[in-house]
């Protein structure tokens, strides 16, 4: 902002365009775009007034490629983007040791038999010492981004290792990790080092004005994040209230529990309000008239998420993005630095009136990127091989928190086809991830990795591997995710074809979900030691269930369909139909086969004898004192994690430089 005693120049500088005089009616984001601007505005006068009132921009900016290019290239102050760059870099420094796995670097990469799940099968993890160098490069790049030092080089040093590690393991994918990579890639092409950076300090004559498209790209990416997250929630699956259950008992909802029941909090606030918030908040933040009104909701939403979920730096990166919706020069105003002027002011009208071929080409690339981001979340009709119970791989579709899983049982059998011996394998012998239990592509990758790792002399090379996995999604029955009769070493899988051996979600039983909740409430009310498991299975398949001697009063009850039941001690089979029950003995194996043409659904009820005899209740197991706001504990955990990360990096460097042996990793158990 100009000094009040200083006479305004006849032709405004680029700095003044980014920060207009207080008497100028234009917002800080506006500037005339080209010579046809006035004539175009007359044609859209009523619409333009509405557009300007809502968005602060002229409708004529979007009536032609030339106008749009001029609008994207108008000079604005780079201060706000510089602050975002600094905060993003700081968040990535923390993220590297946490969600990028730096603190567990030895567990993930030191063990040569550890299985990875790359997007492209040709990708391989480097040797552990070299992976330490990859993480060191990414860490130094994050420092460079935060400090704004050799910005382009720092971005590349961060992004190349980041995307390599990201693509190396699909089980670690989530939407915000994908977001971090996209934002870093977009920053690479911007001039985010124009403010609050070492590059600017080393070159003070560098202009602090940047083209508006630098802001547009980042804001568009976050706009997509919010809008698509909301659109994915506007489905019966989410609005029915089954995705996030019992969240209302968290302390952040304590004020709401004084007014409405926890069940209504889960439905109305956690599900319905969140869906409306996600789909609308980006629009409201874009509109000048509603921006200040909804900002407290935006801040509260991400702060609550940081308490409710373990999602790393995601809430903090989103909070760092919020100021981008406000004026470009707010950091200068905040610091009372408005007297700083551009050393080489340019004539923006002359520059913007004739966008060149390179500017138009850049606009085309920006529009292509925007189109790609709009298309990818709904591109699953192309990549059919990745569609299982949900569409596509988790992590790039912005379907955040829409699906929750409960895995009951995971078993892997390795069959020697020559001796016909069957070997049971620990499902997590070669990986700590469990997302392979729900995605066919990763199941095939894991089976092939197991085949490569099995070197025992009692197992031949001619083997078959079978997975039998039971899990539930969003309060449904426990059911199989894959056909247990399929040899995954010979199973057909293609990214562009549907997977025949991936069993479908039994949506025809969705109508029973309210009934399941009612039954569960009744069973849990029997005593503090009773529980229930709901199961559904496909025709022709058999559930083999060993009941532990710790369980008593076990009962099998059929809800729908027909089954044949027997146990290992009694060869006689019993045919059970809907509504029938049978008592089950403990310490033996029971076999339940679904017969007929349609799936069968049933339930097991039982009492935990051990808990009953010792007087232990579920409530007592959770009475461990926990802080409501464990900020100090979180800080200590992060410090410890970072110390481990730096220790791993040091071990790798000492080995490469001086051949110092690296301590062997110890895999912790849960």
For the chain, give the longest Cα–Cα distance. 102
Chain centroid, CA 195 distance in Å: 30
Rounded alpha-carbon distances, angstroms, from residue 663 to 116, 385, 655, 660, 668:
22, 41, 10, 9, 15
Whether residue 376 is contained in a domain is answered as no
Which residues partner with 424 through β-bridges?
413
Which residues partner with 544 through β-bridges?
591
Q: What are phi and psi of 140, to 5 degrees?
A: -65, -35
Q: Angle of helix 128-147 relative to helix 631-658, nearest 10 degrees?
A: 120
pLDDT at residue number 411: 95
The CA angle 584-588-594, to the nearest 5 degrees, is 60
Sheet containing 581-584, strands listed edge to edge, beginning at the edge strand earlier in sequence: 530-537, 600-608, 551-560, 581-584
Q: For the chain of 670 residues, list the mean pLDDT of each consecutive stretch of 10.
A: 40 39 39 44 60 73 88 94 97 95 92 93 94 97 97 97 96 93 97 94 89 96 95 92 89 92 93 95 91 95 93 95 93 68 41 76 96 94 93 86 91 92 93 93 96 75 93 95 96 95 95 93 91 96 93 95 92 92 94 95 93 68 58 90 95 94 69
Domain end position, chosen among 326, 341, 374: 326
176: its two tokens: 């915000």
- Measured between alpha carbons, how far is 44 from 46 in angstroms, rounded to an integer? 6
Question: Are 479 and 519 found together in one domain?
Answer: no
Quick one: which of 114, 667, 125, 104 has its CA closest to 431?
114
Question: Are 150 and 132 found together in one domain?
Answer: yes
pLDDT at residue number 565: 96
Neighbours of 439 (CB within 10 A): 27
Letter string b/e over residues 559-576, b meaning 16 or more CB atoms within 10 A of that residue's CB = bbbbbebbbeeeeeeeeb
Rounded alpha-carbon distances, angstroms, from residue 554 to 530, 546, 547, 589:
10, 12, 8, 13
Q: Angle of helix 65-73 relative to helix 213-233, nearest 10 degrees?
A: 110
Quick one: which of 170, 158, 150 has its CA closest to 95?
158
- Please check whether residue 119 is in contact with residue 253, taking contact to mean a CB–CB distance below 8 angstroms: no
Whether residue 69 is contained in a domain is answered as no
Whether residue 566 is contained in a domain is answered as yes
Q: Which helix (H) or strand (E) holds 543?
A: strand 542-546
20 CB burial (10 A radius; 0-12, 13-18, 19+): buried
80: its two tokens: 């706000």
pTM as predicted? 0.87
Whether residue 349 is contained in a domain is answered as no
Question: Are 480 and 568 found together in one domain?
Answer: no
- Which of 41, 206, 232, 233 is flagged as catalytic? 233
What is the domain count for the chain?
A: 4
Domain end position, chosen among 449, 477, 504: 504
Q: Angle of helix 175-188 relative to helix 151-168, nearest 10 degrees?
A: 150
- Please check whether residue 216 is in contact with residue 72, taking contact to mean a CB–CB distance below 8 angstroms: yes
Positive or negative torsion for Cα 252, 256, 260, 265: negative
Relative to beta strand 574-576, strand 600-608 is unpaired
Question: Are 83 and 155 found together in one domain?
Answer: yes
- Measured between alpha carbons, how far is 428 from 252 in angstroms, rounded to an integer? 35
CATH number at residue 572: 2.60.120.10
Which domain, by its residues, includes 107?
A: 76-210+630-663
pLDDT at residue number 422: 92
pLDDT at residue number 619: 53
Radius of gyration of the chain, Cα coordinates, nearest whole angstrom:
30
Relative to beta strand 405-416, strand 209-211 is unpaired
pLDDT at residue number 571: 81
For every residue of 485-532, DSSP letters joined together read TS-TTS----TTS--TTBPPP-GGGGGGHHHHHHHHHHHHTT-TTEEE
Quick one: which of 503, 501, 483 has its CA closest to 492?
501
Domain end position, chosen among 472, 504, 536: 504
Question: Are 478 and 593 found together in one domain?
Answer: no
- Please check whether residue 94 is in contact with residue 313, taking contact to mean a CB–CB distance below 8 angstroms: yes
**Distance between the two ends of the chain, CA-based, in angstroms?**
59
- Measured between alpha carbons, how far is 363 from 375 in angstroms, rounded to an integer? 18
Whether residue 336 is contained in a domain is answered as no
Q: Angle of helix 79-97 relative to helix 213-233, nearest 10 degrees?
A: 50
Whether residue 101 is contained in a domain is answered as yes
- Measured between alpha carbons, how far is 315 from 633 in angstroms, rounded to an integer? 18
569: its two tokens: 């001690």
365 CB burial (10 A radius; 0-12, 13-18, 19+): exposed
- Measured between alpha carbons, how far is 192 from 367 in angstroms, rounded to an integer? 21
Question: Are 204 and 91 found together in one domain?
Answer: yes
Question: Are 597 and 641 found together in one domain?
Answer: no
Question: Are 303 and 225 found together in one domain?
Answer: yes
Question: Are 173 and 264 found together in one domain?
Answer: no
Is 233 an annotated catalytic residue? yes
Question: Are 423 and 497 found together in one domain?
Answer: yes
Question: Are 194 and 94 found together in one domain?
Answer: yes
Quick one: which of 480, 471, 582 has its CA closest to 540?
480
314: its two tokens: 């995601």
Whether residue 492 is contained in a domain is answered as yes
Whether residue 412 is contained in a domain is answered as yes
402: its two tokens: 């829409």
- Measured between alpha carbons, how far is 271 from 244 in angstroms, rounded to an integer? 8
Question: Are 531 and 500 found together in one domain?
Answer: no
Residues found in the chain: 670
The DSSP output letter for 112 is T
Quick one: which of 1, 40, 154 has its CA closest to 89?
154
Q: What torsion, rounded to 10 degrees, do the Cα atoms 302, 304, 310, 312 define? A: 30
């Amino acid at each position: 902002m100009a000094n009040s005693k200083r006479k305004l120049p006849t032709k405004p500088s680029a700095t003044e365009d980014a920060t207009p005089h207080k008497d100028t009616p234009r917002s800080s984001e506006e500037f005339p775009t080209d010579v046809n601007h006035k004539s175009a505005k007359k044609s859209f006068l009523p619409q333009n007034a509405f557009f300007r009132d809502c968005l602060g921009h002229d409708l004529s900016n979007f009536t032609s490629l030339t106008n749009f290019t001029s609008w994207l290239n108008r000079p604005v102050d780079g201060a706000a983007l510089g602050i975002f760059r600094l905060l993003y870099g700081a968040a990535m420094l923390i993220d590297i040791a946490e969600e990028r796995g730096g603190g567990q670097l030895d567990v993930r990469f030191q063990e040569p038999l550890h299985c990875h799940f790359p997007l492209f099968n040709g990708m391989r993890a480097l040797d552990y010492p070299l992976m330490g160098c990859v993480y060191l490069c990414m860490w130094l790049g994050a420092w460079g981004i935060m400090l704004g030092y050799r910005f382009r080089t720092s971005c590349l040093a961060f992004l190349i290792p980041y995307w390599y590690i990201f693509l190396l393991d699909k089980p670690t994918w989530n939407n915000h990790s994908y977001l971090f990579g996209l934002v870093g890639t977009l920053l690479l092409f911007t001039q985010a080092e124009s403010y609050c950076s070492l590059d600017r300090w080393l070159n003070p004559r560098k202009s602090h004005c940047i083209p508006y498209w630098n802001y547009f790209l980042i804001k568009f990416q976050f706009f997509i994040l919010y809008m698509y997250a909301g659109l994915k929630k506007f489905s019966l699956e989410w609005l029915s209230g089954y995705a996030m259950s019992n969240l209302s008992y968290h302390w952040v909802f304590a004020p709401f529990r004084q007014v409405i029941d926890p069940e209504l909090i889960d439905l109305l606030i956690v599900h319905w309000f969140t869906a409306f918030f996600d789909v609308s908040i980006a629009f409201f933040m874009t509109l000048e008239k509603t921006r200040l009104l909804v900002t407290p909701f935006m801040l509260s939403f991400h702060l609550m998420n940081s308490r409710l979920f373990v999602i790393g730096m995601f809430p903090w990166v989103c909070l760092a993005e919020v100021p981008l919706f406000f004026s470009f020069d707010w950091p200068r105003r905040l610091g009372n630095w408005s007297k700083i002027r551009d050393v080489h002011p340019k004539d923006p009208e002359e520059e913007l009136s004739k966008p060149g071929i390179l500017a138009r080409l850049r606009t085309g690339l920006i529009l292509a990127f925007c189109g790609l981001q709009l298309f990818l979340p709904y591109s699953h009709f192309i990549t059919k091989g990745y569609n299982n119970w949900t569409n596509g791989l988790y992590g790039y579709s912005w379907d955040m928190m829409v699906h929750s899983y409960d895995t009951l049982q995971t078993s892997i059998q390795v069959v020697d086809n020559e001796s016909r011996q069957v070997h049971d394998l620990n499902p997590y012998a070669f990986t700590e991830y469990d997302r392979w239990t729900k995605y066919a592509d990763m199941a095939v990758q894991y089976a092939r990795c197991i085949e490569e790792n099995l070197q025992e002399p009692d197992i031949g090379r001619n083997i078959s591997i079978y997975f039998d996995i039971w899990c539930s999604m969003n309060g449904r029955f426990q059911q199989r995710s894959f056909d247990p009769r399929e040899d995954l070493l010979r199973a057909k899988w293609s990214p562009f074809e549907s997977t025949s051996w991936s069993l479908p979600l039994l949506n025809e039983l969705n109508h029973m979900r309210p009934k399941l909740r009612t039954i569960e409430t009744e069973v849990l009310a029997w005593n503090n030691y009773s529980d229930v498991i709901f199961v559904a299975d496909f025709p022709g398949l058999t559930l083999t269930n060993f009941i532990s001697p710790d369980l008593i009063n076990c009962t099998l009850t059929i809800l729908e369909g027909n089954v044949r039941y027997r146990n290992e001690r009694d060869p006689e089979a019993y045919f059970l139909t809907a509504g029938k029950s049978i008592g089950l003995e403990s310490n033996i194996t029971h076999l339940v086969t679904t017969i007929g043409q349609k799936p069968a659904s049933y339930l097991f009820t039982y009492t935990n004898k051990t808990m009953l005899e010792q007087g232990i209740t579920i409530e007592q197991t959770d009475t461990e004192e926990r802080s409501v706001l464990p900020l100090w504990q979180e800080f200590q955990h992060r410090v410890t994690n970072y110390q481990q990360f730096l220790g791993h990096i040091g071990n790798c460097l000492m080995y490469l430089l001086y051949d110092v042996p690296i301590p062997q990793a110890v895999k912790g158990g849960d």
